[in-house]
Structures are given as C-alpha cells and as structure tokens.
Structure 1
Amino acid sequence: MTIPVLQESYIAADDTTPQETARRLATEFAATAAERDLTGGTPKLERDALRASGLLALSIPREQGGLGANWQETLLVVRELSKVDSSIAHVFAFHHLMLATVRLFARPDQWRPWFEHTARLNWFWGNALNPLDERTISRQVGHWQEFSGKKSFCSGATDSEMLIVSAYRQEGNHELVVAAVPTGRTGITVLQDWDNIGQRQTDSGSVNFEKVRVEDNDILSEPGPLSTPFSCLRPLLAQLILTNIYLGIAEGAFEDARHYTLNEARPWHRSGSRQTDEDPYILAHYGEFWVSLESARALTDMAAAKFDAAWNKQNQLTEEERGQVAISITSAKILATRIGLDITSRMFEVTGSRATHAGLRLDRHWRNLRTHTLHDPVDYKIKELGEWALKQQYPTPTFYS
C-alpha cells in the first residue's frame, strides 16, 4: 500500500494542535511502516506529507511565519511519530535540529531569511555536519570557500532543500567550518548508500562535495559553533531529540505488543489461564514495562522543560545553567536507552513465538533502537554522569555532550 500525498486536510489549523496533526499523520504512516522497513530507501511520499502538514515550520517563531512551538511541544510531535515510524521521526527531528543550528551559530540577518523561506516554501533541511568525519576540506579561493571531500551519516540529505555542512580548513589550525547551503548546489552529490539493519528510511548515507562554492554569507561564524553557553545548547538539543526518539520507539513497541497480546497471543498450556491476559507472568512483564515507561517519560519531559527555560535565556545563559541542562538530558537519555532496548527485546516474551513472523516485522523496533543508540556510546554518557555525581563536574561541551 502506498500512502497518498496529504494536502490541505493536514495543514495545521487554528483549532488543530501539532500533536493532533502528528497523530493523524502517524495513523497513515503506520499502515505501511513494516513494508517500508523492508524496502528501505527514501520515504518520499511521507516526507511530502510532512511538508503539506505545516509541521516543518513547527519550531520556527511566528515572526518568521512559523507555528512558534517551544521545544517541548516540538519533541512531543517527534515522539508521536517515533511510535509508528522512527525513520520519519528522525528526519523530521533533524530538520528542526538543523534550524536550531543556524539559529544558534549564525547572525540574525542569516537565520531570519532562512526561517522565512522554510516556513513559506516548506523547505526540508538535511544533515551533513558530522564533525567526526574529517574528510571534507575547506580552502580559501578568492572571496569564497571551496568544500571538497565526503561526509558520512548524512541523515535526511536526500530530498532536502538545504543542508548543514561542515568542513575543516586546509589552512591554519584545521578549524571547523559550518555552513548552510542549498542541496542542489553545483558539486553536491547525495549518495544512495544507506542500507543498515535499522532506521532504514533515514537516508543516513554519504554526500560528496566536489569543489562546492561556499559564500561568506553561507558560513555560520557569528557567534559560530559552540562559542557561547547559548550556542552550546545545540548538542544538548541533539541529545534530547535522540532521547525522545528512543522513548517513542519504546512506547510504540509497547503498544504493538499490547495489541498482539490481547488479540493474537495464546496462553501457554501450563499457565492454567484461559486467556493470555490472565497469565500472571505476562501481567508482571506489562507492569514492569509500564513503570519503566512512566519513569522515562517523567525524566524526558523534565529535561525538555529545563531545555526550554535555558533556550529562553538566550545570550544570558551561563555555563553552569547549561551544565545543569546537560545533566538532566544525559540522565533521561541513559534511562530511555536502557528501557527502550529492554522493552523492544522483551516484548516477544509477552507475545509468543508467532509474533516473530517476518511479515509483522516487530523486530524493527529493536533494530531501529539498536542502530540509533550506537550514535554515541551510552557508556560515555554514564561516565559523564558519574563525573557529575562524584565530582560535581559538568560535561565539557562538544558536539556529543
């Protein structure tokens, strides 16, 4: 089944909340989620449905034509989409992360027009930042910079209008240069080389840059990457996005398991139960799942509220305040990772062997989460939290902390 492109009926109206719009979209996406997980590739129709929904302007201020949502509201939409299709949620969330990147790293005369164009034209932003991949080099040519090389893990680059790109200066001290450029600019080639076990429709493959001209006004240098406590919120937003995706995947796995247990699963012959929902062991599993999800939701929502408070301080934000937000997000991410991996694996203990039928592809929840949680090792997040717990030492701001 192919999802039709959604048009006016999905554009957010005054009496429709972003979460309600996301739920309606999620219902449509769920119908083909298993099939699309099998085929992989670009979810073009689903991306166009997001364009038509108006949700690409969700985090853009109303002054620039957006919906003016705060980050907690935006992340609740991410979580809603993650329940049924974490690939779609991923590219949607990273679109908003790229918008936050230009807001935090660029001048107002740069980010305001980009925001206005995005809201008016339904631009999709893709990611080609990945600072750990140093193969893309920038060199000065006349009055512009020239980017050449290759970048990996470029989520959402396919079918995007704009890219956030990073390169390292060939001259001087090997400084990181971050720029916002049109995806269709001469010299940019988005490669279709993503074929992983999970997150199969995020197009997180590679992008080639061959003598790409990058103008001064494309470069995000004022205040620049991670240059102030406020600009250092960028990696924290990335971590909070991942936390909400992980939680959404776990919630979706829980709901799929619950539906199967109630409607398809058979009681074990030695249980003495007439119905599966009377089995004491199955009930115990669901009790554990529920308290785990409630714990993760509480920590994640608290972290989002703290992040919004920090965001609203803008340039008045202190290093200590930024550090407090980092600890809150790190705690939530660790819990969401552990709970998510537990539920997406143990869900089969409450559904039974028939739930492993390949056509259901219920294993996609675990595959998606396992692929995503390797983004940066949770062990290092626990180490950061340990340094805070023992020595009251905040994490050093990097693109991953």
Structure 2
Amino acid sequence: MTVNLLCTRRTPLEIARDLATEFARTAVDRDATGGTPKAERDKLRSSGLLSLSIPGQFGGLDADWSDTFEVVREFARVDSSIAHVFGFHHLMLATVRLFATPAQWQTWFSLTASNNWFWGNTLNPLDTRTVVKRHTGWREFSGQKNFCSGANDSEMLIASAIDETAGGKLLIAAIPSARSGIILHNDWNNMGQRQTDSGSVTFKRVRVEESDLLLDPGPLSTPFACLRPLIAQLHFANIFLGIAEGAFEEARQYTQEEARPWFRSSATHSSQDPYILSHYGDFWVALQSTRLLVERAGQVLDAAWAKGPALTSEERGEVAIAIATAKVAASRNGLELCSKVFEVTGARATNASVALDRHWRNLRTQSLHDPLDYKLHELGEWALNRTPPIPTFYS
C-alpha cells in the first residue's frame, strides 16, 4: 500500500529520474565488477515501478508501452544493465498476458503488484537443450539455458522447454524462481551489459504444474499474441537510444569542461572548434531522428495493444515494420555515436576513470541479440514487395 501511495504523489517518470540519479553514482564501479545489482533491484522493488505496466484494476500503475519504455530509456542513459532487466521484467509480464488465460495472468498480475515480484527470463527458443518429460497432471523440465537475463534475484521466471513427444513443440511456463531443481549460475562475464545476469540456468527435474503452462492461447498463436516479440524488439530500441543519449550527455560535459582544442585549431576552447561542432551537429540529427522513430513505434504498439484479440495480421505487420525501422536506426546511430564521442573528447577521455567506453560496450553487446542484417532483409521485403515479416520470437 505504501508503494502505491508513493506513486500517486509523483509520476513514474519522476520516480525513475530520481532512481537514475542514484544509479549513476555507482554505475561505473558496478560495470567494472559485474554481478547482480542487488541493492539497485531492491530499490526498483520499493519504488513501485515493477507494477508500471500492470493495469490499475490489478494493483498496477496502468502505464501504456510508450510510458513504460520512457522509463526504460531513462535508466539506460546511466545504467543500461538496470534498464535491460527492468524492461525484461515487463516483457515477462506481457508474455503471460499474451500467452496465458485471463485467470492465469490476472492472478499473476495481482500477486506481482501486491508483492513487488521481479520477473526474470529463461525463455530462449533457440536454445533447445531443455526438454519436457510428461507425467500425469504435470510436466518435468530438464536441461540448460543460456542468456537468462534477470533470472538471478527474481521471484518468478518465464521458462521454456521442448516437448519431443509432441513433435518438438515449444512449451512455456511461469514458475517460481525458488522452485526445487532450478540452478542459477553466476557465469555472465561479457564485455558489456555486465549486470544483466544474462548467464546460464540449469533445470534439474523441475516440476511444472499444468496451471503453470501458458497454453491458451499459447505462444505466437494469434496476431495479438505475436506482439510479444515486437515488444522485445522495441525494448531493445529504447535501450539503444537511451545509451546513445547518455553517451552524448557525458561527452558534451567532458567537451565543455575537460577537452582541449588541437594545436592547429583557431578556437581557444574545444566547444568552439569547427570540427567538433560539426560532430555534435551529426550527433544531434542522429538522436532526434532516432527518437522520432522510436516514439512513433511506441505509439503504433500502444494502438495495437489496445485492440487486444481483435488485432489483425495486417495490423500486426504494420507494428512489426515500425518497430524494426526504429530498432535499425537506434542500433546504427547509437553504435556510431558511442564510437565517435572520442572524436570530440580526445585522447584523455580514454582513461578508464572516465568510462566513456562502457556505452559502446553495452550497446554493442545488446545489439548482437539478433542480427541487424536479417532485420534489414525483413524491411527490404516490405519496402520492395510489401511482404510483412513472418512472426517469430525475433520478428
């Protein structure tokens, strides 16, 4: 109750900005150490923002996707690992909303809002090593999964396994993270997104009840259910944009306060150097154009979400194109900006204490989730042949 009252006094975005200010103070040190950002995750729990996308009738803050992703972007400007696990929490909630029965998702939504549950991911459809064994009235999941973002320090998991007795059908379930047989490995040690806990999980004869399974309507079963991968893609686009915005602001401050003009420059300060100004002009155009595409994609998603099960395949295809366009722009422009900030800050900005490199490392790591070339192929099919993307877990 205290959490909900807190959120009525301040908007979710105001709360997120205050949290982002706190996260920024330790972001560089935490990037160096990696591991689970337990204190920061607990602050998210107590903030009420884990209920952001949950409808008000189930105890949530009733935010649409545009508002939810605005909070993701706010976090990504200073700490893209926190932004990732926060956004994935809401993606997992969307997963149960889209794949489960009303009785299932309404119960999980209410419990999440009242208990400040954090949801994590062990759904990786390309990793087929976790398999199903059938028992009367329940299933057993056994195997391994990689890239399990946010699984550590979570209360609930979205898990997947292959049912080989049903022709390799993908089964998805919502299960408590503490259930017997779930082993969370602290083995994520990549160059970027270092506090997303995107390592591996082992399922050792994990009991999955029938009531845990998301079977009706099930994964990617209707145009509305097929919004799930698009929400994930727009989540990434907002992270990319947020990272780029954060890199821009840090570089801007460094240029104004620390950078020195080249000895051949006619400027007495780097902020007046014509070449540096030209770079900042490029940065501005890239950020403004990307922001417009990302925000428009959010509006298109909100309109599709509001249609619910009445959403058509054609309408879903329009959402897919808008989001793919935004994601490509955010990835390309973000990577270029995060690399070129050193052109406007100079050699001294490569010092480890400045930590400008973390923005590129984070964006580069996250952008490899699914290849940009295949996203461009989908957009080319649409641009030339008016063929919308075929729904998969990545498009």
Same fold? TM cut 0.5: yes
In the TM superposition, residue 10 of structure 1 has moved relative to its aligned partner by: 10
Alignment of 1:261-300 (within 5 A): 261-300=255-294
- Given the alignment, which residue of 338, 344, 347 partners 2:338? 344
User: Does 1:26 find its partner at 2:20?
Assistant: yes
What residue ranges of structure 1 are gaps of 5+ in the alignment? 1-7
What displacement does 1:281 show?
Answer: 0.4
The 2-side partners of 1:88 and 1:266 are apart by 33
The answer on whether the counterparts of 2:3 and 2:48 sit within 8 Å (CA) in structure 1 is: no
Aligned-pair RMSD on alpha carbons? 1.0
Q: Any conservation in 1 of the 2:73–2:83 contact (CA below 8 Å)?
A: yes
Aligned residue number for residue 75 of structure 1: 69
SS in 1 for 2:153: coil
Structure 1 letter corresponding to 2:211: N
1:195-206 superposed matches below 5 A: 195-206=189-200
Answer whether contact 2:140 2:208 (CA < 8 A) is retained: yes
Q: State the alpha-carbon separation in 2 of the partners of residues 111 and 317 from structure 1.
A: 19
Name 1:61's counterpart in structure 2. Answer: 55
Corresponding residue of 1:355: 349
- 1:114 to 2:108 alignment: yes
Q: CA shift at 1:82, angstroms?
A: 0.2
1:208 maps to what in 2? Answer: 202
SS of equivalent residue, structure 2 residue 42: helix
Q: Which deviations, in whole Å up to 9, do the C-alpha atoms of 1:187-229 show, x marking residues without a partner? A: 0010000000000000000110011000000000000000000
Asked if structure 1 preserves the Cα contact closer than 8 Å seen for 2:172 and 2:214, the reply is yes
Q: Could you tell me how far apart the structure 1 residues matched to 2:265 and 2:118 are?
A: 52
- Distance (whole Å) between structure 2 residues aligned to residue 350 and residue 95 of structure 1: 36
Query: How many Å apart are 1:143 and its aligned residue?
Result: 1.3
**What secondary structure is seen at the aligned counterpart in 1 of 2:279?**
helix
- Counterpart CA distance in 1 for 2:117 and 2:286 is 37
- Partners of 2:281 and 2:266 lie apart in 1 by 20
Q: Conserved in 1, the CA contact under 8 Å of 2:7 and 2:48?
A: no
C-alpha displacement at 1:11, in angstroms? Answer: 7.2
The letter for the 1-side match of 2:161 is: A
Deviates more, 1:176-185 or 1:353-362: 353-362
Instruction: Kindly state the Cα deviation for residue 126 of structure 1 after the two structures are TM-superposed.
Output: 0.1
Question: Is the Cα–Cα contact under 8 Å of residues 40 and 201 in structure 1 kept in the other structure?
Answer: yes
The answer to whether 1:219 aligns with 2:226 is no
TM-fit CA distance, 1:249 = 0.3
Name the residue aligned to 1:5: none
Give the equivalent residue in structure 2 for 1:85. Answer: 79
Relative distance call for 1:269 and 1:240 in structure 2 (3 A) is same
Structure 1 residue 12, shift from structure 2 partner? 4.0
Q: Distance in 2 between matches of 1:369 and 1:145?
A: 38
2:232 is matched with 238
**How do 1:36-185 and structure 2 match up within 5 A?**
36-185=30-179
Given that residues 254 and 347 in structure 1 are in contact (C-alpha distance below 8 angstroms), is that contact kept between their aligned partners in structure 2? Answer: yes
Counterpart code for 1:309: A
Report how far residue 172 of structure 1 moved.
2.5
1:90 positional shift:
0.2
1:12–1:21: 8 Å Cα contact kept in structure 2?
Answer: no
CA distance in 2, matches of 1:388, 1:13: 42
Structure 1 partner of 2:242: 248
Question: Which segments of structure 1 move beyond 3 Å, counting only runs of 4 or more?
Answer: 8-12
Task: From the superposition, tell whether residues 86 and 11 of structure 1 become closer, same or farther in structure 2 (CA, over 3 Å).
Answer: farther
Residue identity matched to 1:394? P
SS of equivalent residue, structure 1 residue 208: strand
Tell whether the 8 Å contact from 1:189 to 1:208 is kept in structure 2 after alignment: yes
1:374 to 368, 374, 380: 368
Q: Secondary structure at the match of 1:140?
A: strand
Q: Please name the residue that 1:324 is paired with.
A: 318
The one-letter amino acid of 2:206's match is: V
AA aligned to 1:64 is F
Q: Distance in 2 between matches of 1:29 and 1:172?
A: 46
Could you tell me whether the CA contact under 8 Å between 1:344 and 1:366 is conserved in 2?
Answer: yes
Partners of 2:46 and 2:256 lie apart in 1 by 36
Shift of 1:29: 0.4
Of Structure 1 and Structure 2, which has the larger fraction of its residues in helix?
2
Alignment equivalent of 2:300, drawn from 293, 300, 306:
306
Q: Deviations over 1:5-37 (max 9, x none)?
A: xxx799743231111111100000000111000
In 2, are the aligned partners of 1:12 and 1:55 still within 8 Å (CA)?
no
Aligned to 2:252: 258
Percentage of identical aligned residues:
63
Indicate how the Cα distance of structure 1 residues 387 and 12 shifts in structure 2: closer, same or farther if over 3 A, else same: farther
Deviation of 1:361 after TM superposition, in Å, equals 1.5
Distance 1:129 1:120 in 2: 25
Pick from 29, 33, 44 the counterpart of residue 35 of structure 1: 29
Residue of structure 2 aligned with 1:194, choices 171, 188, 192: 188
Q: CA offsets, 1:120-166, max 9 Å, x none? A: 11000000001000000011012100000001000000000000000
Q: Give 3-state SS (helix, strand or coil) of 1:265's partner.
A: coil
